Amino acid sequence: MNYPDSVQFLYALGNEIKTAKLGLQRIAQVLDALDRPQDRLRFVHVAGTNGKGSTCAMMAGALHAAGRRTGLFTSPHLAEPTERIRIDGEPIPAVRFAAAFERVHAAVEQLLVRGAIDSHTTYFETVTAMALVVFAEEAVDMVVLEVGLGGRLDATNVVTPDLCVITPIDFDHEAFLGRSLEAIAGEKAGILKAGVTAVFARQRSQVAEVLDLRAEQLSIPVARTEAWSIYDLELDARGSRFLLSGELDLKIVCPLAGEHQVENAATAAVALTRLGISEPEIIAGIAQTRWPGRLERVSVHPEIVLDGAHNPAGARALAAYIARFYAGRRVRLIYGAMRDKAIDEIGGILFPVSQQVIVTAPRQARALSPESIRQVAEHPDLRTAANLREALAMVKDATAEDAIFITGSLFLVAEAREMLVV
């Protein structure tokens, strides 16, 4: 099967969130049929709500800087599914992706014929198995593995890692994970395992209580970023510099924009110390990190910034960024979202920091229509556009003082990158 056919089959399995089937039995059986590739690998397993991807990218960069052949598994992708499976920072080739799909799909079909599983693996389960197969075939030294949804019943939770990392936890995917922060934290804490050290980012008090209780029940050592101090913090619109001081002093240069990335960088750095990565390698790896679609400036004249602020926590981070670095400038917001998002809450956070809001829809069947967003959102200058191209046409009159933010769904961000990034 070639790459386009494999991608088409994966998409035919359905949206990975809407068709998610939480549980480990099916993925475990498929991996057994594939000779358990996870048993030949070492892992850093990362859960959380926001900041997982950035933290994973920083850790993978530092592991690579330390000379370790490093696998990185993240989701979702922006342009191509190959982005989800990276080795030493590079997405695997399309032909390798297709070969991995064919191997996993064949194993699934055999299990279905025997009646060993009830249905084909989901999109996410399939790509998770593919990643583990590729990483095992490539004999990578360490895999940085990002949880897809929750943790306890996520398809990635079939591994026994060297280290567990939990980034800040907030509300998202409540229909799957629970309506309270405590319930969501309980699902994320499901990746913790006896005998495996954990690293916890700074958390809200009710979240910290759940994580700490689970760690105590498992009698595992925990490193907390709150035990480390941040000094000499310098923030600008393109990143941050600070001294992270704890068991050692690390002069961090983080190229990812936004104050929230300071905590992500600190979490990555503390985790890397637990993996035995040296101070120069931690500093070099974090400094080289690139993570597209997250406060990514893609144009200077006019200034256009892309950010996948798809949940309330992401919206708060973006609103704080705009308030800090774009005060006094005319901010124009292009926003689109999926139907399962808390539009009224996100709009209430984001829209007030902009002088103009243009609501539109990504090219996705699950996209919320601009008219539907308009019904629940309020802004004195709110306009609608049928699609992103039409929305961009509305801001063609942008002056040098204008700043345009394209945000909401990562599908919309991906479209914008396709149009605007050369």
pTM here? 0.93
The structure tokens 């936004």 sit at: 258
| CATH homologous superfamily, domain 296-420 | Mur ligase, C-terminal domain (3.90.190.20)
pLDDT tens digits along 296-309: 999 999 999 999 99
**Hey, which residues does 251 pair with through a beta bridge?**
243
Residue range 167-192: average pLDDT?
91
pLDDT tens digits along 390-401: 999 999 999 989
408: left (phi over 0), alpha (psi -120 to 50) or beta: left
Q: What was the pLDDT predicted at 68?
A: 98
Q: Residue 335: helix, strand or coil by DSSP?
A: strand
* Band of pLDDT at residue 384, cut at 50, 70 and 90: very high
203's CB contacts (< 8 A; 6+ apart) are 166, 168, 169, 185, 211
* Residue 120: DSSP 8-state: P
CA distance to 92, 218, 349, 389, per residue, from 212 (Å): 37, 10, 30, 48
* Band of pLDDT at residue 171, cut at 50, 70 and 90: confident
CB of 38 closer than 8 Å to CB of 178: no
pLDDT tens digits along 3-14: 999 999 999 998
Residue range 221-225: average pLDDT?
98
Which of 99-113, 163-177, 214-228, 231-245 is least confident? Answer: 163-177
Query: Which class for 6: exposed (0-12), middle (13-18), buried (19 or more C-beta within 10 A)?
Result: buried
**Hey, which residues does 198 pair with through a beta bridge?**
164, 222
Asked if residue 407 has pLDDT above 70, the reply is yes
Q: What was the pLDDT predicted at 173?
A: 74
Q: What was the pLDDT predicted at 339?
A: 87
Portion of the chain with pLDDT greater than 90, in percent: 91
Portion of the chain with pLDDT greater than 70, in percent: 98
Asked if residue 162 has pLDDT above 90, the reply is yes
Q: What was the pLDDT predicted at 16?
A: 62
Q: Rounded CA gap, 340 and 346, in Å?
A: 12
Q: Rounded CA gap, 165 and 275, in Å?
A: 12
CB of 89 closer than 8 Å to CB of 72: yes
* Band of pLDDT at residue 174, cut at 50, 70 and 90: confident
pLDDT tens digits along 40-77: 999 999 999 989 999 999 999 999 999 999 999 999 99
Q: Which amino acid is at 125?
A: E
Helices (H), 138-278: 174-177, 181-188, 205-218, 260-274
Nearest alpha-carbon partner for 143 in 82, 267, 56, 55: 56
Residue range 174-198: average pLDDT?
93
SS3 letters across 41-80: CCEEEEECCCCHHHHHHHHHHHHHHCCCCEEEECCCCCCC
Q: Rounded CA gap, 374 and 394, in Å?
A: 17
Asked if residue 340 has pLDDT above 90, the reply is no
Is 3-287 in CATH node 3.40.1190.10?
yes
Residue range 344-372: average pLDDT?
95
CA distance to 72, 168, 211, 291, 378, per residue, from 152 (Å): 20, 16, 13, 26, 38
Q: Rounded CA gap, 297 and 303, in Å?
A: 7
Return the domain boundaries, the chain.
3-287, 296-420
202's CB contacts (< 8 A; 6+ apart) are 168, 224, 225, 226, 263
Q: What was the pLDDT predicted at 25?
A: 95
pLDDT tens digits along 2-41: 999 999 999 999 876 666 678 899 999 999 999 999 999 9
236: left (phi over 0), alpha (psi -120 to 50) or beta: beta
Q: What was the pLDDT predicted at 19?
A: 61
Average pLDDT taken over every residue of the chain: 95
